[in-house]
Structure 1
Amino acid sequence: MSDHEQLHRQLIDSMTASGSLRTEPWKRAAEAVPRHEFLRGGFFRLVPGSVPSAWAPVVEEGDGWLEGCYADESLVTQIAGTIVPADIRGEIMRQPTSSSTVPSLVLRMWEDLQVDPGSKVLEIGTGTGYSTAVGCARLGEENVTSIEYDQEVAARAQTALGRIGMYPTLVTGDGLLGHGDGAPYDRVIATCGVRTVPAKWIEQTRPGGLILVTVGGWLGSSELARLTVHEDGTASGPLLGGGVSFMLARPQLPPPLGLLPDLSVGKERETVTGADVLNNWTSRFVVQLAVPHAQRLTLQQDARTEDVLIDTKSGSWCVLYEEAGRWMVRQDGPDALWDAVEEHLGRWHAAGTPALEEFTVHVTAEGQSIRW
């Protein structure tokens, strides 16, 4: 048994033992796809202890490359929209823009999609092509269409898929628009996050079909949702839990904040709801529902830490800080942001702080709502 075969077997066994790989058909699909073929361009490793985050390239056949390919980890494959591992000697301090998803999550999502033999699937976000290949191994390449926003990422995925003899329908374009030429689909699966589920996905999915997508927002809390498409053109379904996170689809990324407003003005008061609610995954998700256009930043002012929310749509803002053991909030603009947060969190607490698995997503022609 070769090194990569041995590492591949260890990964399959690990995913089976952890419960992320639960059924025999998907186990066979995972066994059929060698992950290292989709990472021949290398990947980036986070430099331990770096602040701000720095990334170092790991190139093909380099030290730790093959072991990394078969680790159950997410591997960054592109930084700042264009930079790949071969471009860098040393370290780079920019934001990741493409990655190879954790294999156990890939398999969990395909299983959560509840496909039947012959199901016709649209995948949003080809990435390296590994997830696409797993879908082809289970369903047949003729039943898989995958769309990728980035042309260079798409080209590398096509090459990798060709290396292992898989030729699904690959499309380069805005995944939020779907791919109408192949519709209707039985299933849609997204390997990017969205703030709102696109109407095109619902239009292109047959009634009774399923859409599996991570729903989140600009405060960085998200969750996997499985929506059923209804005859009336709406879709609804539960969040599935597990704290799943993906990079947001590029067209839904937050706009640059630009010049900050004068944060020293505004009305100030004490609040029983402190900025610590922004550090908890579930409560931050609830906050996100209350102020969906808000972005967060942290400032050091007068020897104290201030948490700032700025609404990029209305221009409203709030600042939170601790003083003598009390939380204080200062806010200004057309909307009182922290008042909205307190009200939404208050209703969530009154309901018994339900877990995210008890939330339901509803998408209609009027828009999207998430309720518990």
Structure 2
Amino acid sequence: MIGGGLLGGGEGALYDRIIATCAVQTVPRAWLEQIRPGGQILTTIGGWLSASELVRLTVHEDGTASGPVLGGQVRFMLARPYLTLPLGLLPDLGRGRECGAVIGPDVLDDWTSRFVAQVAVPNTQRLKLRRDQHDEDLLVDVETGSFGALHKENGHWSVRNDGPDLLWDAVEEHLGRWHTAGTPAVEEATVHVTPEGQSIH
């Protein structure tokens, strides 16, 4: 069979299993529709911060699916429709409101922390650049134009947010809840998928 993998293989459905050898940001609705209740989907979920994990989902009678994150820092190339958008021109980094940051961007150097953060900002890319005599870490969402630019001064991190989404605030909030819970391993997380969307808890 030749065709788009994210569309599944409708001609042979219903299936007992789907095994994906590329990563997705969200599990396609077509996969849910083509697995019989009790069947399973094995896929890698990732995003634009370049951290991904293998998950095993069981499809339920109501057309939803859920299952554990298996861990292992599994990496597959993102399916073509999920590839990062070209950055083009960077937004005007002088815009926005600057305030103190609770945590610094170096937390994203850790794979698991990056995976947790990515759940909050799945369409965000991370860049490092030199600007105004200091190094900056930049999170940017090309589609919305939102950005969070972080730099360190006198031993403290500051962030300048702009756009409709406060990207670094979302990262801090998500990582904060993870730390409050005791930084559980990703294997303790469960993925829930419905025709309307996906969540990881």
Q: Do Structure 1 and Structure 2 share a fold, with TM-score over 0.5? A: yes
Find out whether 1:180 has 2:6 as its counterpart. no
Q: CA deviation at 1:292?
A: 1.8
Deviation digits for residues 80-132 of structure 1 (CA, Å, limit 9, x no counterpart): xxxxxxxxxxxxxxxxxxxxxxxxxxxxxxxxxxxxxxxxxxxxxxxxxxxxx
Find out whether 1:274 has 2:104 as its counterpart. yes
Deviation digits for residues 260-307 of structure 1 (CA, Å, limit 9, x no counterpart): 111022111221210012111111111111112211111122343211
The CA distance in 2 between the partners of 1:273 and 1:229, in whole Å, is: 38
User: Helix, strand or coil for the counterpart of 1:240?
Assistant: strand
Q: What's 1:144 paired with?
A: none
Structure 1: segments with no counterpart, 5+ residues: 1-170
The CA distance in 2 between the partners of 1:333 and 1:293, in whole Å, is: 14
Q: What's 2:173 paired with?
A: 343
Partner amino acid, structure 1, of 2:138:
V
Deviation digits for residues 159-181 of structure 1 (CA, Å, limit 9, x no counterpart): xxxxxxxxxxxx22210000111
User: Helix, strand or coil for the counterpart of 1:243?
Assistant: coil
The CA distance in 2 between the partners of 1:305 and 1:245, in whole Å, is: 29
Find out whether 1:229 has 2:63 as its counterpart. no
Structure 2: segments with no counterpart, 5+ residues: none
Normalising by the residue count of structure 2, what TM-score does the alignment of the two structures yield?
A: 0.96
Find out whether 1:260 has 2:76 as its counterpart. no
Find out whether 1:352 has 2:182 as its counterpart. yes
Runs of 4+ with deviation above 3 angstroms? none
The CA distance in 1 between the partners of 2:178 and 2:98, in whole Å, is: 25
Q: What's 1:330 paired with?
A: 160
Q: What's 1:195 paired with?
A: 25
Q: What's 1:119 paired with?
A: none
Partner amino acid, structure 2, of 1:208:
G
Q: CA deviation at 1:340?
A: 1.3
Q: CA deviation at 1:342?
A: 1.2
Deviation digits for residues 201-236 of structure 1 (CA, Å, limit 9, x no counterpart): 111111111110000111101100000011111110
The CA distance in 2 between the partners of 1:327 and 1:292, in whole Å, is: 23
The CA distance in 2 between the partners of 1:246 and 1:321, in whole Å, is: 31
The CA distance in 2 between the partners of 1:313 and 1:350, in whole Å, is: 31
Q: CA deviation at 1:189?
A: 0.4
Partner amino acid, structure 2, of 1:323:
E
Q: State which of 42, 59, 81 in structure 2 corresponds to 1:251.
A: 81
Q: What's 2:197 paired with?
A: 367
User: Helix, strand or coil for the counterpart of 2:178?
Assistant: helix
User: Helix, strand or coil for the counterpart of 2:71?
Assistant: coil
The structure richer in strand per residue is 2
Partner amino acid, structure 2, of 1:227:
L
Deviation digits for residues 12-46 of structure 1 (CA, Å, limit 9, x no counterpart): xxxxxxxxxxxxxxxxxxxxxxxxxxxxxxxxxxx
User: Helix, strand or coil for the counterpart of 2:70?
Assistant: coil
The CA distance in 1 between the partners of 2:127 and 2:3, in whole Å, is: 32
The CA distance in 2 between the partners of 1:332 and 1:200, in whole Å, is: 36
Q: CA deviation at 1:312?
A: 2.5
The CA distance in 2 between the partners of 1:357 and 1:312, in whole Å, is: 31
Q: CA deviation at 1:339?
A: 1.3
User: Helix, strand or coil for the counterpart of 2:95?
Assistant: coil
Q: CA deviation at 1:183?
A: 1.2
Query: How many residues matched?
Result: 201
Deviation digits for residues 53-82 of structure 1 (CA, Å, limit 9, x no counterpart): xxxxxxxxxxxxxxxxxxxxxxxxxxxxxx
The structure richer in helix per residue is 1
